[in-house]
Amino acid sequence: MSEKVLMKGNEALAEAAIIAGCRHYFGYPITPQTEVAAYMAKRMPKIGGTFLQAESEIAAINMVYGVSSTGHRVMTSSSSPGISLKGEGLSYLAGSDLPALVINVQRGGPGLGGIQPSQSDYFQATKGGAHGDFHMIVLAPASVQEMADLTVKGFELADKYRMTSMVLADGTMGQMMEPVSLEYDIKPAPEKPWATTGTKMQREHNIINSLSLVPEELERLNIERYKRYDEVEKNEVMYEEYMMDDAEICIAAFGIAARVSKNAITEARRQGIKAGMIRPITLWPFPKAPFKKAAKSVKQFISVELSMGQMIEDVRLATECRVPVTLCNRVGGMIPSPEMVLEAIKEAAKNGGAR
Amino acid sequence: MSTTQFLFAGFGGQGILFAGKFAAYKGLIGEKQVSWLPSYGPEMRGGTASCSVIISDEPVGSPIVSKPDVLIAMNLPSLDRYESAVAVGGTIFVDSTLIDRKVERDDVAVYYVPATRLASDNGMPTLANMILMGNILKVMNDFDEESVTEALKKVVSAKHADMLDVNLKALKIGAEYKEEV
Amino acid sequence: MVVFEKPHALTDVPMHYCPGCTHGIVHRLVAEVIDELGIEGKTVGIAPVGCSVMAYNYFNCDMIEAAHGRAPAVATGVKRAEPDNIVFTYQGDGDLASIGTAETVHSAARNENITVIFINNAIYGMTGGQMAPTSLPGQVTQTSPYGRDVKLCGYPVKVCEMLSQLDGPEYLERVAVNNVKNIKNAKKAIKKAFQNQIDGKGFSLVEVISSCPTNWGLTPQNALKWIDEKMIPYYPLGVYKDRSAAKEETK
């Protein structure tokens, strides 16, 4: 095993992107993800890559669109308000079936909001985030190691399915340091015969395009795209089950909320309450199956979120409302404490849940 | 099986984050699980700075330290703000040059180290943080020169390699400091 | 003997442009230049949103359709990733001078080594004749039915003049395509704008004063006259910046 080094989440992510073969980064400064840009600004010129501070988030995502059209791995990163601006580009990337990696180190909203950690862009990330029928693959790291690992994974999945992968992190994940190992077996990117890098007068011209004025044609394209999404749902779901073997109370949490919840579960177990957790790692595709299965034995679910309750809707859908799903949340940059989550677990246990 | 939660707090510019990073590396070298989480944003600019460090035998859950086992207070606002949060039976290290009051709680151990004065007396005015750190390691029975040097090498960038010796010296001054009774 | 041929860089797809529209002329000029420079195989074109949105079907080189106004950002991405490709954008006035102003100004300021073909016909054509950022004072459009009132909606944006104030761009020229002489000049300018990119000189923009008989409510012939009478006096033709030429002169 390689030596572990302490790295900030934002920096581990940036270095992992470079290891994954990304040589083009476009961004616009915004707290709390600016370290990604700073890291890229330092590293890219030294390895023959591009770092460009764009005039706007909109320009940055469209530069990503341009690079992706040429078949190269490319990324941009931002935080919540900046991601809203990138929405246009995200829709066009989807409509043109272009792979890209987008990082959202979330902060509290709406509007300018705050700069402390948040998970309130869950809907935006998992339900489209811009106009039209489309999905992004949404990856939710819960450690600095995962910030790096899921970045590499994000590039691979983006290329494999010609989709945008989004790493949905939060201010804590971006700012914290933990030991990481950045050893990866990077597979070569798949051939991209669709790329626009010049015909060399040897083939018909390639066209990267999301316009389709004939409704029948546009319908067909949408249906085909969703067949691809079906494949993603079938093959790429990732989640972690924590102490779920005999769990009677199940926490649903991702990212920093999952880290906090682990403390609460440890304490609940110490007090004799059978608590466990399902931690979605892919938020889209959402891990429906483990939740559905857990709904047969679990007496109550608690969705722990840094939002007013967004993922809870997916938990309810996945469990088909067979058992109660309650919310334990803080917002605006506040983070639920382990004590708060423990209280929620105890409350659930009292209400006929586990003992 | 043990977990120690540290909270370092002081003014921006006192090397709060650096000391925390050193502590985290020291833990990592000792094959512990570690996490380091800074406060960030405008409060970093000239105001108070703090960072949470967790050193544990098992994977770290929440990286946020709200009930520190060890509080390192390098200015009065930090002691005022966090004194009550320290876990019962915990420890508080106070830079007694900059904080002229005593800790009011009697259920925690307290060490007063005039780190800022020691730093200026020894011609290393920016290293009060590491003097304090040396004292912490000594008190926690965790000061061995080999791993301390190794951890220093991780946090002192190659660009400032000449700072290694003076940092080590600061740690030693802190370790050797005995509270005047 | 063949006296007239379609340039190779144009496809056989019938263009959708209205009768008398000058987009066809400018497409042809760009294609001729691509042919003459022998760069079709490495050229990547970026189409805008607007009347020329489907330009991607008309050029034989690789083509990308960009979001409205973002063509220079997309071109920046392509050129940075593949510096050996020749990258051009083809944009109308709404695309380049209204919704995409930031992308235009900043790609020029960065002196991105790309070629921009800017069609200025003082109107939004595709959506049916609304006021453009370049519509003339007093000009009647669907969204300025009483004539463009500069007190209410400001003055037209003069792109070449504006960009010429920047240190960044290499070459800015305004041409027209309303008569044979002007068309010849336009081709010369377009060729230079591509040659500059080949030579690594940087951002080159050719503003082409064009007609839109349909939305101007004029016959094609009168539309060409209107260019002479109304457009060119407001938008004088000529070179607004030519850094290399200026350097030559000072030598």
Q: Are B70 and B91 in contact (CB under 8 A)?
A: yes
Residues 248 through 267 of chain A touching chain B, CB cutoff 8 Å: 256, 259-260, 262-263, 266
Contact A179 B41 (CB under 8 A): no
Q: Does A324 touch chain B (CB under 8 A)?
A: no
Predicted complex ipTM: 0.93
> A94: distance to nearest CA of chain B, Å?
34
| Cis upstream peptide for A110 (omega within 30°) | yes
DSSP 8-state secondary structure symbol assigned to residue C231? I
| Structure tokens, C53 | 């949105």
Structure confidence by residue, pLDDT tens digits, C17-26:
999 999 999 9
* H-helix or E-strand spanning residue C109: helix C101-109
Q: A95 CB near a chain C CB, below 8 Å?
A: no
Question: Quick check: B36 and A177 CB within 8 A?
Answer: yes
- Contact present, A and C (at least 3 Cβ pairs less than 8 Å): yes
| Mean pLDDT per 10-residue section of chain A, whose length is 355 residues | 83 98 96 92 96 97 98 97 97 98 96 94 93 97 98 98 97 94 95 98 98 97 98 98 98 98 97 98 98 97 98 98 96 95 96 57
pLDDT in tens, C103-131: 999 999 999 999 999 999 999 999 999 99
Least CB–CB distance from A62: residue in C67, C82, C105: C67
Residue B112 has pLDDT above 60, yes or no: yes
Contact (CB, 8 A) for A65 and A93: yes
The band of C246, judged by pLDDT with boundaries at 50, 70 and 90, is confident
Residue C214 in this model has a pLDDT that exceeds 50: yes
Mind telling me how many Å the CA of A200 is from chain C's nearest CA?
4
Q: How far is CA A88 from CA A83, A284, C237, in A?
A: 10, 20, 35
Which pLDDT score, from 0 to 100, does residue A270 have?
Answer: 97
CB atoms near residue B147 (< 10 Å): 16
CATH 3.20.20.100 is the classification of domain B3-176: no
* Domain residue extents for chain B: 3-176
Q: Which residue has the tokens 């691509």?
A: C34
Q: Which residues are CB-neighbours of A37 under 8 A, at least 6 positions away? A: A25, A27, A28, A29, A51, A53, A77
A338–B61 C-beta distance less than 8 A:
yes
The neighbour count for residue B123, using CB atoms within 10 Å, is 9
Type of residue at A72: H
Angstrom CA distances, C237 to B162, C26, C161, C169, C234, stand at 64, 16, 11, 18, 9
Query: Which residue among B34, B42, B62 sits closest to A338, beta carbon to beta carbon?
Result: B62
Domains with residue ranges and CATH for chain A: 5-189+209-235 (3.40.50.970), 239-350 (3.40.50.920)
All structural domains of chain C, each given as residue ranges with its CATH number in brackets, are 23-250 (3.40.50.970)
Instruction: Return the pLDDT at A20.
Output: 98
| All partners of chain A with 3 or more CB pairs under 8 angstroms | B, C
- In this prediction, residue C41 carries a pLDDT of 98
> What is the per-residue DSSP string for A226-264?
HHHHHHHHHH---EEEES-TT-SEEEE--HHHHHHHHHH
Residue A353: the pLDDT is 53
CB within 8 Å of chain B, chain A residues 92-121: 115-116
What pLDDT was estimated at residue B42?
54
Q: B68-95 as b/e, with b when 16 or more CB fall inside 10 Å?
A: bbbbbbbbeebbeebbeebbeebbbbbb
Which bin fits C91, alpha (ψ -120 to 50), beta or left (φ > 0)?
beta
Which one of A23, A28, A63 would you mutate to disrupt binding with C, by most C Cβ within 10 Å of its Cβ? Answer: A63
| Residue A252 bridge partners (DSSP) | A278, A303
Percent of chain C at pLDDT above 70? 100
Any chain A CB within 8 A of the CB of C17?
no
- The 10s digit of each residue's pLDDT in C133-185 is 999 999 999 999 999 999 999 999 999 999 999 999 999 999 999 999 999 99
Residue C120 near residue C94, CB atoms below 8 Å: no
Token pair listed for C95: 């695309």
The distance of C66 to chain A (nearest Cα, Å) reads 8
